[in-house]
Structure 1
Amino acid sequence: MEQPAGDAEDQELMRMVNHTLYEGHPVEFLDLVSSIMAGAEEPRGPMGSSEERITLADLAETFEFVDLAATTALLHVFAAVSSDDVLVARIRRTLRERQQRLPAWVTRLSEVRIEQVVEMRHVLRDGENYFLDVRLPDGFAMTAVVYVDNNLGPVVKDGYTIDAPLDAVLEQARAAVDEDTSLEPVDPADARALMEAALEIEAIMFPPMESESWPACRPLLRWLVSLLPSGGRVPEETMPSDDELDAIADGFLASPEGRSFNDPDHAALLDVLVSLGATYDVQDPLRWSPVNVELLLLDRVPRKVVDRVQVLTKLPDLLRAFIRYAYRLRGLRTELLVETLESVDRWEPEYQRLIRTPRAQGAEALARMAMGLPTGLEAHDPWEQLVAAVGGEVELEL
């Protein structure tokens, strides 16, 4: 049974809801509600959380007992965005009794549609941005952006909304990006399959991804992605065969960049570069960026590769030559090559320190990480720094 609103309407949250509901673009209200829903999600942690928390069902119950325009609007979004069928059914029963007059874009959220999806892709493939052309009832338009990181996933690393139609966003994006970046429409069903798979990975990552807008907008973006057509396929990155990997290594050793590295130590290290390149990211041994150079030097080689320091210490010079070879083969700009080589220079001193530090490696490192035990790499915590650095964030100021 609903209770009188009393002083609830004067509470700060209710004032914020009313302001965004009636005064601004709908995206402001939707972002606010999404942040409320995100705050009610199950916290992540290796051992879970023993603290009592307010769930979405608790919030909905509170709003159901306070009959205001603001609470009714919140409940409309909860009902549209939540995947809890039991909770949604309960909220809808409550909404049938509410009498407030609200904007149509709130009461008719079932009519929201995504007109198209555009992918922003850079030649270095650290990650892709997906721009969703969102149309709301009452003629409002907005753009939702989902960033899928390839270096850590593919995993959704960031997302945000823009209170402008996609055409306006793309016009400014095309004016801002360089010749190495493309903006092309993609199949909406395939985009949904890819983003949902990347959201599933994001949902289990610890520590969770965080940015100015993430995870606050996660519930909203997850719902918008679900409005795209189903039945799509996630593009498969095919790992090169052993013969293809051998051809890459042989091509390098026969090249001007690689002729001086034809000895047993460098052959072993070249196998490391090619194998790790084929295993991680987009499974392309010839793809090198400042970010995956950092990942290689500060995490993957120190943690996974077991060899003598006298051998491992030679890796950076080989890496520089291999990067030059890959960029020449791909025809990439010299400016990009310089930035990637500068990343090797930047991270080599720390790499040289790490390979000389007692540390767990291979299966032992994985076991100790799973148990929360030190591995010997903690002085440089690659996870926090790499999560902050990987891919970068694309923000458009309109």
Structure 2
Amino acid sequence: MDDGRRRRRAKQGRRDARRRRSRNEDAGELPLIKEVRRALTRGHPIKLLALASGMIHLSKPDRWGYLKAEKREPFPLDVVIAAYIGMKVRESTAMLAVLAELLPDDAEWKARCRLEVETRTHLLPTWLAHLPDIRVHRVVRKTHILGDRDELWLGARLAGGQELTCAVAINHNMFSEVADVSVWATPIDEVMRGDDRQDFSSAALSLADAKAWIRHGLEHAFFPDDSDSSPGCRPLLVWLVGHLPDGGEAYRRPSWDWQEAEAVIDEFFASTVGRRFAGSGYREVLDAVLETGTGDPLRWSAARIRHALAGASYDDDGIPLEVQINAPELLRAYVPFAHARSGIREELTDEALAAIDNLAPAYHEELIDSARDHGDLFGEEVVAQ
């Protein structure tokens, strides 16, 4: 290399270094700028998408914060966006481009972000420059054998060809709410090939039905921060769902044949394990318990058990207290009987029985306290069988 070329290269290196220093100094006070830079340089778009999604999630007030010892202050997203607009660097342009898409319900800020990006000349990756062109191309429904949990796996492809997969867990024990969301930097076909979990069956779900299922589940997610392992992914899910077609049908709880259910109950009370519960009121207790969760008389998860035995309250509707208090023992006899009828493997039955054992003491205590408040104990101690 001749001296002239060496001098030119050294001069260019000094210019590049000055530009980097200037950029870092200008953006030194910009919130999360280092995280944005790392997300831009580490390959898959999921890094930047997840970062923006988390910011949006944290900007929303915690509606159940008043029940918590440590209250979370909302992330000042409007202040941060204003700072990004004020700093004319590539990192801020990239974040504004993502926020222009993911901001769910603030038309003014979305428009400001989009307008600011349009006025800048920073070179952005293809996937980011064409972020609105993302396409959700496949949805797989995975259903747990106990029936109270579905997972919808959404496969999406960005304009640059990168793919991601979003997993949405739906809990049917309450209102078929979205209980958990996670995002993977992996194509859905690859995720499906690597998923060999027991107890799940797979089926295709139309894109329109997936949209209806998830929108219903998001609207009925009352405690997302408590159940969701990654609540910061929810704004990203909302954005993905917005790219699905309309016209689908939301999840419908199965309608169980009451005559078949009655036949199962008759068989239980006639069995060796069920005969000791033949006294007055036990059938009414079992009928009430069967109304919980999915209503399936033959499948009982630990989660459904928790729902069935939570919040015990005595109500004098003709069922003796000594019968109501034995609901955990009734379930302990009924669940193995039901699972034997439906072919549920022993390990899942054991999980349900363990949940009964763990919840029984609290159930007894709450029920007795409630009965005492009603004045129905008369100083006598009621003991479970």
TM range (shorter): 0.7 to 0.9
Percent identity over paired residues: 29
CA distance in 1, matches of 2:256, 2:373: 25
Match of 1:114 among 136, 148, 154: 136
CA distance in 2, matches of 1:77, 1:361: 56
Match of 2:206 in 1: 187
8 Å CA contact 1:81, 1:223 repeated in 2: yes
Map 1:89-128; keep pairs closer than 5 Å: 89-128=111-150
Aligned residue for 1:319, secondary structure, equals helix
Match of 1:79 in 2: 100
CA distance in 1, matches of 2:72, 2:372: 33
CA distance in 2, matches of 1:51, 1:327: 43
CA distance in 1, matches of 2:73, 2:206: 43
Task: Quickly say closer, same or farther: Cα 1:318–1:210, change in 2 above 3 A.
Answer: closer
Shift of 1:286: 3.1
TM-score by length of 1: 0.78
Quick one: higher RCO (CA 8 Å, sep 6+), 1 or 2? Answer: 1
Match of 1:25 among 39, 44, 48: 44
Output the aligned Cα RMSD: 3.0
Task: Quickly say closer, same or farther: Cα 1:239–1:140, change in 2 above 3 A.
Answer: same
Aligned residue for 1:272, secondary structure, equals helix
CA distance in 1, matches of 2:53, 2:183: 11
CA distance in 1, matches of 2:188, 2:86: 38
CA distance in 1, matches of 2:49, 2:323: 55
Shift of 1:331: 2.1
Aligned residue for 1:209, secondary structure, equals helix
- Residue 258 of structure 1 pairs with residue 274 of structure 2: yes
Match of 1:313 in 2: 325
- Residue 209 of structure 1 pairs with residue 226 of structure 2: yes
CA distance in 2, matches of 1:136, 1:298: 44
Match of 1:69 in 2: 90
Amino acid in the other structure paired with 1:234: A
Match of 2:170 in 1: 148
CA distance in 2, matches of 1:189, 1:208: 27
Aligned length: 347
Match of 1:322 among 330, 334, 337: 334
Map 1:349-368; keep pairs closer than 5 Å: 349-358=361-370
Shift of 1:108: 0.6
Q: Look at both structures and tell me which one has the larger radius of gyration over its CA atoms.
A: 2
Match of 2:380 in 1: none
CA distance in 1, matches of 2:314, 2:114: 52
Shift of 1:257: 4.1
Shift of 1:304: 6.7
Shift of 1:54: 5.3
Aligned residue for 1:7, secondary structure, equals helix
Match of 1:303 in 2: 313
Shift of 1:55: 5.0
Map 1:23-62; keep pairs closer than 5 Å: 23-45=42-64, 53=74, 56-62=77-83
Match of 1:233 in 2: 249
Amino acid in the other structure paired with 1:130: L
Unpaired stretches in structure 2, ≥5 consecutive residues = 1-21, 375-385
8 Å CA contact 1:5, 1:67 repeated in 2: no
8 Å CA contact 1:135, 1:142 repeated in 2: yes
The one-character-per-residue Cα deviations of 1:167-186 (angstroms, maximum 9, x if unpaired) are: 22112212xx12x2112221
Match of 1:223 among 217, 239, 246: 239
The one-character-per-residue Cα deviations of 1:27-79 (angstroms, maximum 9, x if unpaired) are: 1111111111112123314879x998555444323221211111111111111
The one-character-per-residue Cα deviations of 1:270-326 (angstroms, maximum 9, x if unpaired) are: 2322xxx33x32232333112211222232xx1375454322222222212221232
Shift of 1:190: 0.7
Shift of 1:18: 0.9
CA distance in 2, matches of 1:239, 1:341: 26
Aligned residue for 1:235, secondary structure, equals coil
Amino acid in the other structure paired with 1:92: R
- Residue 249 of structure 1 pairs with residue 265 of structure 2: yes
